[in-house]
Chains A and B, each alone.
Chain A
Amino acid sequence: MAENKVKKVTVNTTINGQEMDILIDPYVSLLETLREVVGITGTKEGCNDGNCGACTVNLDGRIVDSCLVLGVEAEGKNIETVEGMASPDGLHPLQQAFLEEAALQCGICTPGFLVSAKALLDNEPDPSEERIRHWLAGNLCRCTGYDKIVKAVTKASKESK
């Protein structure tokens, strides 16, 4: 069979509030697009098959594993990554709580946990512990364990009230 000719595609998207046009191969993931084309590396690659949640980003208000989204699917969408969480005034309450509760060790899973937890608290300011654990089931941590992470999310939810 003749070689499949693949053309790069221009994608217009908004990342952390900034609208941009990017030129990408149609088969690359949103994760690769963010890290290697846009050059923001806060979003991490863990398993690259939708199990670990390290690459979680917010796509039009819903969290997704960016390794399982094509970059071209970002056309016309609004994407928020961990880079969009802190403001010039300081860290997001969740980031602050993760530091205070020591809810990380190696840190690879942290951006994913933060983006997931933010999506929860944006919609449900006072979730139960069970709800937090259920919501974060798609994010894996292999060093700290989950208690400190759940504590940090609970703390952030109480403080932002």
Chain B
Amino acid sequence: MHPFNYYAPETVNEAIEILNKYGDKAKCLAGGTDVLVQARGEKFELDAIVDIKKIPQLTKLEWTDSHLIVGAATPCHVLYEDSKVCEVFPGIVDSAFLIGGIQIQSRASLGGNLCNASPSADAICSLIVHEVICEIAGPKGTREIPVEDMCTGPGKNALTNGEFLVSLKIPLKNSEFSASYERFIPRNEMDIAVAAVASSIELSNGKVSSCRVALAAVGPTPIFAKEASELLVGKEPTDENIRKVSEKAKDIASPIADMRGTIEHRKDLIEVLTRRTIEKALERAGG
């Protein structure tokens, strides 16, 4: 591994200063479950690693009137061991509970999963269907972007020099909102998705007032399937209407064929998983 220095700033501004000084020779360390593997594999040469876990807001959950704010470096287990998070956001917990095994979940964070920008990332689709806002800090101050704008290519994100992800803001919805995430893997645990889908549903008077579907491992980045999502809005969630959404999602998926699966298999999986996740979200929303 290329030798790097270790910094553990205690404030956001200190972190920005170090990241800005080293530019692309520095990376943030949250759980390290991607960045340390990549540094060791010499995907990049780092001169500095910036451990952001000593900055208090980076590892905590905060409930406000309008959002659940998740510190970007909060490990997965904190989410699924929190009974309120499980009750309010079971779709987020679906993802947190299946990233790696228990060892990985002790360290890996949703923020890290997002910044790593893998096309098959387990958390990103869930974040997209929850309309999560990314709070980013950098030399020019803070900015907010919708999570679906964060991934710009395989392993590439929208952060510029000196910037880092501070938190994920998950909007609170009414009681008739819920979501679900499912992936297909050839074994039960510890694998990378062949294809995966997250769906969210909000009901109002028996009709769907909002719907979001996002797809993973079927494009260069996780995909917000907007055109599929819109098909259900204003409609009743009947089998026929859900089928139209899942067929559209299948159309939108543009996978490659590789060792994990063929194009046809992946597209078929998207159709099935879209249907299942919408049905699950409906069940959870009480619809």
Contact = CB atoms under 8 A, between A and B. Distances in A.
Interface of A: 1, 4, 6-7, 9, 25-27, 29, 48-51, 53, 56, 59, 62-65, 67-70, 72-73, 116, 119, 134-135, 137-139
Nearest to A59: B106
Given A51-B190, A64-B106, A138 B4 contact: no
B107 interface: yes
Interface stretch (B33-41, B84-92, B159-167): B33-41
Given A63-B103, A65-B103, A70-B32, A49 B3 contact: no
Contacts of A29: 36
A135 B5 CA distance: 34
B6 interface: yes
Interface residues on B, range: 20 to 34
Contact of B47 (A4, A64, A69, A119): A4
B151 interface: no
A73 B35 CA distance: 15
B188 interface: yes
B100 A6 contact: no
B244 interface: no
B8 to A, nearest CB: 8
Contacts of A119: 102
B128 to A, nearest CB: 25
Contacts of B31: 68
Contacts of B216: none
B145 interface: no
